[in-house]
Amino acid sequence: MLSLIHSIKSLLLTILFTLALMNIAVGDQTSHVYGIHDRTPDKIAFINANIYIEPGKLIKQATLVIENGKVVSVEKKAAAPSDARVIDATGHTIYPGFIDPYSDYIFGSTSSGFNFGEPPKYDGDRFGGNAWNDAIHAQINWYSEFEPDPETAKTYIKNGFTALQTARLDGIFQGQGVVVSLADGIPNDLIYNANAQHFGSFNKGSSKQSYPSSLMGSIALIRQTLSDANWYKEAKGKMSSLPEGKKVEFNAALEALNELATTGLMFNSDDSLSTLRASSLFKPYQLNVSYIADNQEYARLPEIKNTQATFVLPVNFPKQPDVSSFESQLDTSLAELRHWERAPGNAAVLEKNKIEFAFTQYGLEKKSQFWDEVKKTIQHGLSEKAALAALTTVPAKLAGIESKVGRLQPGMMADFVITDGNIFTKGKVKSVYLQGQEQNFEPLSPINVAGTYQLTINNKSIRLTLTQEGETVSGELFASEKSESTSKNNDSKNDKANLKPDDLISLESVSLSGNQLSFHANLTPLGLDGVFRFSLHKSQQQFSGIITFPGFARENISLTLIEPANKSSKDTNETDKKAINYVGKLTFPNRAFGQIKSPKQVSLHIKNATVWTSEKAGILVNTDILIRNGEITQIGKSLSTPSGYQVIDATGKHVTAGIIDEHSHIAISKGVNEGSDAITAEVRIGDVVNPDDINIYRALAGGTTAAQLLHGSANPIGGQAQVIKLRWGANAEELKFKQAPPSIKFALGENVKQSNWGDQFTIRYPQTRMGVDTIVRDAFLRAREYKQSFDVYDDLSRSQQKQTAPPRVDYRKEALDEIMANKRFVHAHSYVASEILNLMQIAEDFGFKIQTFTHILEGYKVADEMAKHGASASTFADWWAYKFEVYDAIPGNTCLMMKNGVNVSVNSDSGDLIRRLNTEAAKSINYCGMTPEDAIKMVTINPAKQLKVDKYTGSIKAGKDADFVIWSGNPLSIYSKVEQTWIEGRRYFDIEEDEKMRIQLSTEKSQLIQKALSSDNASSTAKNGHSESRSANDSELQRYLLKDNTVWHCEDNFDFWHFINNKTSTKQSVQQGGH
């Protein structure tokens, strides 16, 4: 009952409060005024305050004058104007109001509109001249949807925020944001910048449209869309050039995107690796892009600095990993522990490296935690100046309102925060002014009632001690005679100290409101039977009021202060800075087995090895190899060691060229298939290379030094491939095998006709091998036509050109054209004889060649035709029977193709087999009698030829890259192990070093676990360690979990975005048919 009354009371108060503000807030500029015009003067002078007029500029004993929602003056020790209301802010600090540059505020954020089990949706919803893709809605101006929401605003204001930049955080191009004041009022008065930054992300959000279904798809869509926007600028209002020859369409989204150059873009890439991807994506357009950080920027710092972007830092640092038991520790990785330890230091690292950043409340589960988290960044070494800049000037600049807010200068908005001391240490927000309106959380000088008082009831002498924390008061009553009788010299404090707990009577229902204090207490222990109620008000040093006796009698009473409480000052500048000492290491990548530094290139003399050259020379026994500057310089017997060379005695060991995998899906982020459209030649695996994938290191431990990362097999023409060298520790760009010519994945058969995708997937063309033939032919016809359109345009006269739109660059067709021009090489996933023959026919009809048939399990049936066409083959050693189209697969496939003159390799298509391609090759020895020399070629020089990198790698030959493996014995024997793996004269794997590293990693992990166990909140981990938040972005950010690297397969075709956006993700929508 009491609580009900209480809530009604607070509701009424809220309404009253709101009405009062509304009265002031409603402007009369363009609105009609009903009733009496408000002309209350609102000039206020804050005196005796410590005022930060901007980061690093503190004026002590300053006077701030505001009027009409603006700052009039800030001056040291200035007298308050005579017409101003004066507020004494002694002991308080004033900061410019904080600005959050990235908020969903009233608009909400990404949530999937997709339900698993629904049929795919290939077309977008068209209205209002929008873009073809539902994830692009750049034409929305979010200011037109804006109305303030005081409840949500309060979660910001309480932390000192006065303005924020906001949009609905949904989709790829999300529209143009709006910067608003958090004050209460009509939107017209609150909008600070209606033309703020555009917002964007890689996540298609609520769009149900299939395309894009992967990160690389999103990147391709952005690339095409930005190019289209440029084209649209030229083309608008003209006739399009051939072949369409139509009027150029009206496109509101493209029109809006042409503002990007002036407005800039606020981009949420989801993680710092993707930030680097976004940065290269936007580079050609010279846009001003700011990125939402994931606080792992410290782990790839040079690259991050290179972006020259401003970062927006959430402060949702990882919760402490659960290491409370051995069992729970099993789920906690070293990477998670390291990141838990260092994440709060990310801001300090950025400051030290002069990377500009702002803070945001985005991503915080509980906004009330904001300051606790920000203080951690200070404890980890961030300067208060940079922290304040991250809350004021930096976000003001991002939001395009730096002339209005972010500092306290005459003429700027009266948006500021009053705290009772240094907010970066112990100070708390007491009051926030928004456009001159106060939102008060605690009175500036609250009545202080703490102390010890003397009172008398029924001639009994009683003492009352009151303690006060903010507006919360508690206290105790006890008899005072006892102490007086025992020791007269004792002061009142000791009185209480000498008492047993039983003698203390706690006050109940204590309420302090203004200077009114009320409470009740059961005084029976004092010999006064019953519960007594007190209603007091404070004046000067004493309380007076009435006491209500149990029998309703009332008496006046007065309480005299005999001992004031000690006052503690919060205005301390000493930061709670313990020197931060990280136990965790920082490696590249920052996880177990990461490199402390890049391996050194050495000059090397390998002595007395059995060398499998993969060349005509064959297998050479007792042979030496010299290596310098990353190249093999000499092969011979008993060579002398040049000075400065390291020597490896390889007696009894075997050396082969580094193993090369024609078909791999390791080191790929967020989707291996853009399995939406049937033709997706525009997507690029090269955009989503993941240098942090542990599978790189594990593949090195199996002797693999290079791999072609292929798009999956979900569509007839899939994405562009990326050849990498496994330079573990390098960044994504450095992993790329630069000399490898461009290539692309095609696919045929069951996967592309969606045979095993489930019953919903029956509407995409093609559903048969007949359709696969025609859709591929159609794609090439269109690409040919596309190329011709450029010639046609060039041939137009100048006046004709003026009226004609230039041809639109189409990245999909560009890739197809490169294939026909023999600049991009096709690796075609294929199984059965008919489709293999047919694809060769198509290629020949369009004047190109299939470089490699990959998988090609029925290659043995058409080996002579393949040889004639000039196609090579990369197959599984012995896989079969996992789906119908591989029922005729045989392990003798390799031998039969090779006998017919086809270049043959074996590939992995898995994170497992890439670790042991040597024994995969050896299977051809026991299944079809291949020679060992030919078998080793199947994983070295043959795949090198297929990837057209045989000039550089794939055999042990003078002049080639020093990419090689040292084996404990015959490399094809099941009994042999890899001992060392080298790339370009750098040692990336060493079996002994690996052992040592494991001991170090184990020590480091145990130290981190000790640190976690002994840290303050160790006990609360179990409860708070995991977030229940289901918003996709939030849950991703909030968990302490770092998601595992996914090992993709060809057929891992599903919509990545639908998966991570969906709240109840299961595996049901996933198809699986085999490779």
Partner 1 sequence: MTLKHLITGLVIATVAFKLTANDMVPGKQANTTTLIKNATVHTVSQGVLTQTDVLITKSTISKIGKNLPSPEGAEIIDATGKHLYPGLIALTTTLGLVEIGAVRATRDAQEVGRATPEVKAHVAYNADSEIIPTVRSNGITYVEIAPTGNGITGQGSVMQLDSWNWQDGLVKAGVSMHMQWPNTGINKSFWEQRSPTKQKEDNDKAQKQLEELFEKIKAYAKARKSDSNTAIDVRWEAMRPIIDGLTPLFIHANDYRQIVQAINFGNQHKIKIVLVGARDAAMALDLIKSTQTPIIFTAPWGQPARSDDGYNVAYTTPSLLETNQIPYALAIEGDWNVRDLPFAAGQSVAHGTSKAMALRSVTLEPARILGLEQQLGSIEENKQATLILSKGDIFDHLSHSVEWMMINGRIVDLNNRHKQLYEKYSNK
User: What are the two backbone dihedrals, phi and then psi, of residue 445, each rounded to the nearest 5 degrees?
Assistant: -120, 85
Q: Please, are residues 806 and 238 in contact by the beta-carbon 8 Å criterion? A: no
- Which among 937, 961, 958, 957 has a CA at the least distance from the CA of 949? 961
What is the closest distance, in whole angstroms, from the C-beta atom of residue 46 to partner 1 in the complex? 46
Nearer to partner 1, 416 or 761 (CB): 761
Write 451-454 long-range contacts (CB < 8 A, 24+).
451/561, 451/562, 451/563, 451/564, 451/565, 452/492, 452/493, 452/496, 452/561, 452/562, 452/563, 453/542, 453/543, 453/559, 453/560, 453/561, 453/562, 454/480, 454/559, 454/560, 454/562
Nearer to partner 1, 365 or 571 (CB): 365
- Structure tokens given for 703: 């002797």
Helix/strand/coil for 917: helix
Q: Please, are residues 1045 and 668 in contact by the beta-carbon 8 Å criterion? A: no
What is the closest distance, in whole angstroms, from the C-beta atom of residue 269 to partner 1 in the complex? 16
Q: How far is Cα 749 from Cα 771, in angstroms, rounded to an integer? A: 10
Nearer to partner 1, 582 or 887 (CB): 887
Nearer to partner 1, 553 or 974 (CB): 974
Nearer to partner 1, 67 or 750 (CB): 750
What is the closest distance, in whole angstroms, from the C-beta atom of residue 663 to partner 1 in the complex? 16
Q: How far is Cα 71 from Cα 533, in angstroms, rounded to an integer? A: 48
What is the closest distance, in whole angstroms, from the C-beta atom of residue 897 to partner 1 in the complex? 10
Q: Please, are residues 640 and 981 in contact by the beta-carbon 8 Å criterion? A: no
Nearer to partner 1, 630 or 758 (CB): 758
Q: Calculate the CA 968 to chain-centre distance.
A: 43
What is the closest distance, in whole angstroms, from the C-beta atom of residue 1070 to partner 1 in the complex? 5
What is the closest distance, in whole angstroms, from the C-beta atom of residue 1028 to partner 1 in the complex? 6
Nearer to partner 1, 454 or 755 (CB): 755
Nearer to partner 1, 812 or 916 (CB): 916
Nearer to partner 1, 136 or 904 (CB): 904
Q: How far is Cα 690 from Cα 669, in angstroms, rounded to an integer? A: 6
What is the closest distance, in whole angstroms, from the C-beta atom of residue 215 to partner 1 in the complex? 11
The torsion region of residue 985 among left (phi > 0), alpha (psi -120 to 50) and beta comes to left
What is the closest distance, in whole angstroms, from the C-beta atom of residue 106 to partner 1 in the complex? 26
Q: Number of helices and strands (H, E) in the chain?
A: 31, 44
Q: What does the buried/exposed string (b/e) look like for 347-368 if buried means 16 or more CB atoms within 10 Å of the residue's CB?
A: bbbbbeeebbbbbbbbbbbebe
Q: How far is Cα 877 from Cα 935, in angstroms, rounded to an integer? A: 11
Q: How far is Cα 104 from Cα 165, in angstroms, rounded to an integer? A: 8
User: What are the two backbone dihedrals, phi and then psi, of residue 833, each rounded to the nearest 5 degrees?
Assistant: -55, -45
Q: How far is Cα 389 from Cα 591, in angstroms, rounded to an integer? A: 32
Q: Residue type at 870?
A: G
- Structure tokens given for 696: 């790189």
Nearer to partner 1, 204 or 1005 (CB): 1005
What is the closest distance, in whole angstroms, from the C-beta atom of residue 861 to partner 1 in the complex? 6
Helix/strand/coil for 826: strand
Nearer to partner 1, 148 or 749 (CB): 749
Nearer to partner 1, 187 or 892 (CB): 892
Q: How far is Cα 662 from Cα 656, in angstroms, rounded to an integer? A: 17
Q: How far is Cα 574 from Cα 581, in angstroms, rounded to an integer? A: 19
Nearer to partner 1, 709 or 816 (CB): 709
Q: How far is Cα 879 from Cα 865, in angstroms, rounded to an integer? A: 23
What is the closest distance, in whole angstroms, from the C-beta atom of residue 365 to partner 1 in the complex? 12
What is the closest distance, in whole angstroms, from the C-beta atom of residue 1052 to partner 1 in the complex? 7
What is the closest distance, in whole angstroms, from the C-beta atom of residue 890 to partner 1 in the complex? 4
Residue 812 CB contacts under 8 Å (≥ 6 apart), including other chains:
224, 679, 680, 681, 682
What is the closest distance, in whole angstroms, from the C-beta atom of residue 866 to partner 1 in the complex? 12
